[in-house]
Amino acid sequence: MSLAGKVAIVTGSGQGLGLAYARELARQGAAVVVNDVNEEAAAAAVARIEADGGKARAVVVPVGSTEAAKALVEGAVAAFGRLDILVTNAGILRDKSLLKMTDEDFDLVVNVHLRGTFTCVREAFAYFKANGVQGRIIAIGSPTGQRGNFGQTNYAAAKAGIVGMVRTWALEMKKAGVTVNAVIPVAATAMTKTVPYFAKAVEADERGEAMPAFFRHDLGFGTAEDVAGLIAYLASDEAAGITGQAIGAGGDRLQVWTHPEPATTDYREGGWTYEALREHGAELIGAHLQSVGEEFLPLPEGLQPQAEKTGAEVR
């Protein structure tokens, strides 16, 4: 067990992806602090990990505030004597199109995802530096943060911001030997369960059957457990040379996302005036427009959902 003797915190790990991450870390030998806002869900998650032969404790607190971050780190040290790994998975959704999205909808999502990641990472890194721990930090992003998605202004902003922070932290934490990466999961969850496009895959998963190969291979869409292996690997000593990356996992697919790079570069002595852009803008910019949103392949025969609408969202 490559993580034997390590201690991990996984925020938002009472169920779904977070629980899969926590179980895999425990399976690899780490003691795990389970975090959730629901006391029953957290207790059930701890019981499940212990039933698997692992070690776990629950810290029930809503992620976002500095006080919550301190409670998580202090809880890990109190329960297991140290901290080595942080996985920031906690999140909520308040999906609405721009004109329907309220200030509260925006602030709630950003507070949990973005501010919660910031406060938890700051607290964990402070502990790592003070105690000479070459820790591992894994922040959870989303394809929405990479590409955008209709109705998710708040979520897209938070997830894109997380990747931006990860790249910055990789620079700041390098000297301390701490690695920090973003994982971009694509998996069947309570959120994707409501999307007709993925219906056949989710139905197969719920029956305990393997998902059709089209979903696992062509779309890189799988189970929460398909992502958990990457989390455990990035938390291990073997991944000491990997930092500042955005890495996607889903189904049979693994992806390393590129950092944004210019699609084209042009120069004009004296700069690009309005008049110059009127003359050349269409060819210089218009010819290099980048796509937005996720684009999905047509569903093969037999995998069409019952509903007529087959538009897809990935979170």
- Name the residue ranges covered by the structural domains of the chain: 7-187+223-257
Least Cα distance to 294 among 163, 198, 180 occurs for 198
pLDDT at 295: 85
pLDDT at 254: 98
How many H-runs (helices) and E-runs (strands) does the chain carry?
A: 11, 8
Sheet holding 253-257, edge to edge: 55-60, 31-36, 7-10, 85-88, 136-140, 179-185, 246-250, 253-257
Enumerate the H helices of the chain as residue ranges.
16-27, 39-51, 66-80, 103-110, 116-131, 143-147, 153-173, 199-206, 213, 224-234, 274-284
pLDDT at 304: 85
Give the number of other CB atoms < 10 A from CB of residue 199: 19
Token match 């110059």: residue? 276
Q: Is residue 235 classed as helix, strand or coil in its secondary structure? A: coil
Give the number of other CB atoms < 10 A from CB of residue 98: 10
pLDDT at 192: 76
Least Cα distance to 87 among 249, 267, 190, 228 occurs for 228
Cα pseudo-dihedral 209, 214, 220, 226, rounded to 10: 20
Fold adopted by 7-187+223-257: Rossmann fold (3.40.50)
CA separation for the pair 185, 192 (Å, rounded): 12
pLDDT at 51: 98
Structure tokens at 202: 């989710």
Q: What is the mean pLDDT of each run of 10 residues along the chain (315 residues)?
A: 95 97 98 98 98 98 98 98 98 96 98 98 98 98 95 97 98 98 92 82 90 94 96 98 98 96 95 96 94 90 68 42
Q: What is the maximum alpha-carbon separation in the chain?
A: 70
CA separation for the pair 8, 110 (Å, rounded): 24
User: If residue 37 lies in a helix (H) or strand (E), which one and from where to where?
Assistant: none
List CB contacts of 224: < 8 A, sequence separation 6 or more: 16, 17, 19, 20, 21, 185, 187, 188, 189
Q: Which of 127, 155, 197, 233 is catalytic?
A: 155
155 among known catalytic residues: yes
- The three-point CA angle 249-138-235 to 5° equals 90
Q: How many residues does the chain have?
A: 315
